[in-house]
Structure 1
Amino acid sequence: MSAVPAAPPVRAGAVVPVLASAGITVALMQTLVIPVIPELPRLLHASAGSTAWAITATLLAAAVATPIMGRLGDMYGKRRMLLISVGILVAGSIVAALSSSLIPLVVGRALQGFAAGVIPLGISIMRDELPSDRLGTATAQMSASLGVGGALGLPAAALLAENVSWHALFWVSAGLGVVIFGLVLRFVPESAVRSGGRFDVLGGAGLSIGLVSLLLAISQGGDWGWASAPTLSLFALAVVAILVWGWWERRTSEPLVDLRTTARPQVLLTNLASMVFGFAMFAMSLVVPQLLQMPKATGFGLGQSMLASGLVMGPSGLVMLVTAPLSAKISAARGPKVTLMLGAVVVAAGYGVGSILMSEVWQIVLVSLLIGAGIGLAYGAMPALIMSAVPVSETAAANSFNTLMRSIGTSVSSAVAGVILAQLTINLGGYTLPSQNGFRTVLIIGAAAALVALAIAACIPTRPTANAPEPRTPAQAPA
């Protein structure tokens, strides 16, 4: 094994903010182009359906990269793979910034999506390097960065798009990536905890085919038709690919994802709760901006600009960041299971309030703050539950799989909300718009999903099931 690039000694006070900033930067990519999506057909001389790939490409690339980068991090070094991920983000941002047509933009956005492994890699580095008294708060902040970046990205991107140029979105993200790359080189050490072994190429290919097929069918099914041949074929391919992948992973000696570990009750139920929670979380991102920007002539719309709606959502990201240390304190005192359950209750309450209070901007701010607080609590608890149930040498892969489950939940949420808002509509001046009942239905479904996550979390075993047998391949130190 080649030598790991030298890094300075651990400085906990620097490692945590650097890794959290890296997570927020990567999460920004989720909402980066939302403010300019309506303008992309004109800017790129392409159809609206084609320009939707500016979001879809990032989603698909992230789904593929997250489990693969986690496994490679366990094998060859988490800091190394984190640097590679940030480097790909910078490259993708530059490609997108230089683009003036659809294909280069989609390629750039796909490269940005490949950086999604930064968050689980960062959590795993924290487990390896930080003292135990700092670990809970640090991993909670890192996990919450997934929601923080998405919330803060909307106002920042809207401000740039309205006052500079849409290309500036990508130049700024490239600049942030360069800064993060330098900070990781300077402050983040490489861990000696390795699983070794060989990369499971067939497992990576099988999981990639299954995930891409599933997420492509979910994201495009509304446009293609849920009963259309392409959609049904992709769902069928996803089922076959994932079943074959599972069969292979149980039989290979060095799997991409150790399904025996994943099947432990604490890991399995945490991942299921994460997927349902991801569904619940994304409902806010879909409803709130549309409700804020809906014309006042509808009788329920608030007539705000994209920038104003982004500013309304921005505080929820800050609340997630502030709530993360509280999540760690509750987990230390009562256990992460209790914290996850509490987060689900707060999110359900937020959606319940939102289904009633949606007629004033301050009401939307209150709802987004409640939901943001619940997300901060729950997302802070998830890595603690995962890490207490898996061997140290499988931390990155296990956290990556958990992040992937959240992403699948958000993708399903997007599809379900899209169908509901497309069916429950009103007509205004010849335009078809979502109705208030449509928004209310999505919010109620978000509350129900949070309660389902609560029920799943309640079944998580109280005692950690690991301190686990170490993996079959011994951990290796750098050569």
Structure 2
Amino acid sequence: MRRSTAPLAGVVGALVVVEATSGVIQGFYTPLLPDIARNLGIHDADVNWFEAAQLLLSAIVVPLLARLGDMIGHRKVLIGSLVVTAAASWAIAFSGTFWLFTLVWAIQGFYVVWLPMNVSIIHARARKHENTAELTAKGAGLIVVALEGGAIGGALLAGQLGGIFADRLWISLSVPAVLVTVALFVVIFKVEDPGTRAGGRIDSSGTVLLSLALLAITGGLSLVRVNGFTIWVWAMIAAGLALLWWFVRVEKRKDDPLIDMSLIARPTLWPVILTSALFGVSVLGAQGPLSTFAATDPTEVGYGLGLDSASRSYLIGAYVFSLLIGAGVYARLSRRFAPRAVLLGAAGMVSAGYLLLIPFHGGVGMVTTLMVVAGLGSGALVAALPATAAAAAPPHQTGVATGLTNTTKTLGGAFASAIFALALSSGIDDAETTAAPLAGYQAVWAICGVTALVAVGAMLTVPKAAFTAADPEAQGLGDRSDAMALEAVGADAVVSEKPLPRPEKFEAGEEDRA
């Protein structure tokens, strides 16, 4: 008999609203970034600091809130993050200064915890049914589709509203705030607390060390924008790296670390984590430069596409739609080819798309085609990285592993946004134009392409049978002689395997409720 997500239809339907709203946030603002820059009286290059600040905060709060969700309840953390995001979204609509706008934009980044919280809620509900894995996978698939659909719709809607309310930008910027507010009430009234709680505690020392390290490194990069590479810049970056080293040492001694270093060191997992960080450079850091390049008038500076907000939204929409297609075909491709091969091909497409932009950026059709190529590869990576991380991790640490892909991707995007801001601000003549130099854009595309190539190299280090049933890491086995034997037999030889127990801990008095 055909199974479906019917047992979870109510909660999945409510969480679809949340993820669609998340998608709108991710797609809505990009076509409007040039208009926001004009409204705030800043250069195009400075909009990259919005993303850098938001991604940095996201990288800090995601592991903390994910851990907190296990402790006090995923629904509570979801509601709390919705409240914070709603307040920040309303503030964005009415912020008139660069620093205030950057601050509230960063705080809006709390929305990144919605996806892990939503998947956790779905999993907790699915545990009451025998086909837990199938229900969880289908429910998660639906909300990811909603996310990508929301991003496409948000980009297209923003483009239209940007033209209609060109002189009243606050009206356009209020749309995401309204949607987040609606999503908040949907969760309050339609999503019940599944009642599951895990043991453990918050790693406060690890959280403080990681936060200070990231703030020091990003702060050093931000000072370059003001005074160039001074001794203070290098001192802050060096201090941040030293704090990261200390963080790793401390985490290795913790029973409940913020980030499990032994997990990252697994031979099939570290390439996935590294690929996630490198992938974040392009998928999270390069959208702002794409929008400002599309808005740059070629008749004034000799490069750019000269698109208005509506036309920019079509370009961004085509890119995001290619992400949706790439994510949708990943499962089918991974069944036909090895997941490792799909990862290699996807990273190669990202690299090709961005590297070819360096010489071929002279027309809308050319740029759109290359962004679609990069988008198809990026979409496959969006779907592949969490799945392969879960397959490479021990059964009781799949949640931690998938969370690491999100955290490292966010870190990669945060550092890339800061570096891109520096690249795009070099050589600007304030008296002549607010447009970023062409060399800056070419540097951005080169960095995106080269980091994707490095990701290809990292994935080449894992065995061909990685992330499949023939991989002992996916079965919780650690003997590399077993790995060699299974790889020699091949993935197709493993036709069945008994489900592994879920070693979940619950505090006394807490049970899985209806």
Map Cα deviations across residues 8-63 of structure 1 (whole Å, 9 max, x no partner): 96228636734532541453587486244323435xxx999999865554233212
Paired residue secondary structure (2:272): helix
Q: 1:305 to 1:26 in 2, by over 3 A?
A: closer
Q: 1:78 maps to what in 2?
A: 74
The answer as to whether partners of 2:285 and 2:417 remain within 8 angstroms in 1 is: yes
The equivalent position to 2:409 in structure 1, one of 402, 406, 409, is 406
Q: 2:339 maps to what in 1?
A: 336
Letter in 1 for 2:65: M
Q: 1:301 to 1:311 in 2, by over 3 A?
A: same
The answer as to whether partners of 1:70 and 1:399 remain within 8 angstroms in 2 is: no
Asked if 1:59 is matched to 2:90, the reply is no
Q: 2:283 maps to what in 1?
A: 281
The answer as to whether partners of 2:56 and 2:410 remain within 8 angstroms in 1 is: no
Q: Distance in 2 between matches of 1:41 and 1:429?
A: 17
Q: 1:445 to 1:436 in 2, by over 3 A?
A: same
Range with bigger deviation, 324-333 or 389-398:
389-398
For residue 175 of structure 1, report the CA deviation from its aligned partner.
Answer: 1.5
Paired residue secondary structure (2:229): coil
Q: 2:180 maps to what in 1?
A: 177
Map Cα deviations across residues 401-433 of structure 1 (whole Å, 9 max, x no partner): 32121122223333444444455x698994485
Q: 1:383 maps to what in 2?
A: 386
The answer as to whether partners of 2:52 and 2:413 remain within 8 angstroms in 1 is: no
The TM-score, its normalising length taken from structure 1, stands at: 0.82
Letter in 2 for 1:244: W
Q: Distance in 2 between matches of 1:416 and 1:146?
A: 28
Residue segments in structure 2 that go unaligned for 5+ positions in a row: 1-5, 127-131, 478-500
The answer as to whether partners of 2:151 and 2:320 remain within 8 angstroms in 1 is: yes
The answer as to whether partners of 1:270 and 1:386 remain within 8 angstroms in 2 is: yes
The answer as to whether partners of 2:52 and 2:414 remain within 8 angstroms in 1 is: no
Paired residue secondary structure (1:388): helix
The answer as to whether partners of 1:121 and 1:400 remain within 8 angstroms in 2 is: no
Letter in 2 for 1:246: V
> Which of the two has higher C-alpha Rg?
2
Map Cα deviations across residues 114-134 of structure 1 (whole Å, 9 max, x no partner): 232123333444555554346
The equivalent position to 1:465 in structure 2, one of 462, 473, 477, is 473
For residue 283 of structure 1, report the CA deviation from its aligned partner.
Answer: 6.2
The equivalent position to 2:110 in structure 1, one of 114, 127, 139, is 114
Asked if 1:362 is matched to 2:370, the reply is no
The answer as to whether partners of 1:66 and 1:401 remain within 8 angstroms in 2 is: no
Q: Distance in 1 between matches of 2:287 and 2:47?
A: 20
For residue 374 of structure 1, report the CA deviation from its aligned partner.
Answer: 1.0
Q: Distance in 2 between matches of 1:167 and 1:262?
A: 44
Paired residue secondary structure (2:218): helix
Q: 1:5 maps to what in 2?
A: none
Q: Distance in 1 between matches of 2:431 and 2:208?
A: 49
Matches within 5 A, 1:41-190: 41-42=40-41, 54-100=50-96, 105-129=101-125, 131-133=132-134, 135-136=136-137, 139=140, 153-164=154-165, 165-185=168-188, 188=191, 190=193
Asked if 1:10 is matched to 2:18, the reply is no
Q: Distance in 2 between matches of 1:335 and 1:136?
A: 19
- In the alignment of these two chains, the number of paired residues is 467
The answer as to whether partners of 2:326 and 2:376 remain within 8 angstroms in 1 is: yes
Q: 1:459 to 1:360 in 2, by over 3 A?
A: same
Q: 2:353 maps to what in 1?
A: 350
Paired residue secondary structure (2:269): helix
Asked if 1:478 is matched to 2:501, the reply is no
For residue 270 of structure 1, report the CA deviation from its aligned partner.
Answer: 0.8
Q: 1:195 maps to what in 2?
A: 198
For residue 271 of structure 1, report the CA deviation from its aligned partner.
Answer: 0.9
Q: Distance in 2 between matches of 1:370 and 1:210?
A: 35
Q: 1:394 to 1:171 in 2, by over 3 A?
A: farther
Q: 1:79 to 1:458 in 2, by over 3 A?
A: farther
Range with bigger deviation, 251-260 or 158-167:
158-167
Q: Distance in 2 between matches of 1:386 and 1:286?
A: 28
Map Cα deviations across residues 216-258 of structure 1 (whole Å, 9 max, x no partner): 333x144134522442232123122222222222222222222
For residue 316 of structure 1, report the CA deviation from its aligned partner.
Answer: 1.3
The answer as to whether partners of 2:33 and 2:291 remain within 8 angstroms in 1 is: no
Q: 1:162 to 1:354 in 2, by over 3 A?
A: same
Q: Distance in 1 between matches of 2:341 and 2:258?
A: 31
Residue segments in structure 1 that go unaligned for 5+ positions in a row: 1-7
For residue 338 of structure 1, report the CA deviation from its aligned partner.
Answer: 2.9
Q: 2:209 maps to what in 1?
A: 206
Matches within 5 A, 1:14-25: 14=13, 17-18=16-17, 20-25=19-24
Range with bigger deviation, 296-305 or 157-166:
157-166
Q: Distance in 1 between matches of 2:124 and 2:336?
A: 22
Matches within 5 A, 1:288-303: 288-297=290-299, 298-303=301-306
The answer as to whether partners of 1:77 and 1:190 remain within 8 angstroms in 2 is: yes
Q: 1:13 to 1:193 in 2, by over 3 A?
A: closer
For residue 275 of structure 1, report the CA deviation from its aligned partner.
Answer: 0.8
Paired residue secondary structure (2:118): helix
Map Cα deviations across residues 424-466 of structure 1 (whole Å, 9 max, x no partner): x698994485554553443343222222111212223412525
Q: Distance in 2 between matches of 1:135 and 1:335?
A: 23
Q: 1:160 to 1:232 in 2, by over 3 A?
A: farther
Q: 1:238 to 1:440 in 2, by over 3 A?
A: closer
Q: Distance in 2 between matches of 1:96 and 1:53?
A: 15
What RMSD, in angstroms, separates the aligned Cα atoms of the two structures?
3.8
